[in-house]
Amino acid sequence: MLNFFLKLFGTPDTAEGKEPMLNLVLPMIGNMLAEIVKDKATDFVEKNLEEHLDKLPKEAREALDGAINDDSSHSHKSLLDLVKG
């Protein structure tokens, strides 16, 4: 799923100082995934999500965690922190 969003919105181009739509979408993706995990019917997702996040490229994981860390609507520092509440 993350690959879909990376292809759709691109990746941050820090060399030119550009901030594409991906920077705006990553916190929403993180919140969406956290809400899925919080549902009692999908508790098993938390473990599976962590395993899949570990398989992400380092840059994608850092971008996702950084976007969640920078989101001032909560105090979470990473996607796993957000999911685990």
Is 4 domain-assigned? no
User: Is 11 domain-assigned?
Assistant: no
Per-residue pLDDT of 48-71, as tens digits, reads 788 888 888 888 888 889 998 998
Assigned domain for 28 exists: yes
Residues of the domain holding 37: 20-84
pLDDT over 80 (residue 73): yes
pLDDT of residue 15: 45
Residue pLDDT, tens place only, 7-46: 666 655 544 555 566 677 788 888 887 777 666 555 666 7
How many domains is the chain partitioned into structurally? 1
37 burial level (CB within 10 Å; 0-12, 13-18, 19+)? buried
- According to the model, what pLDDT value does residue 83 have? 76
Tell me whether residue 13 is in a domain: no
In a domain, 40, yes or no: yes
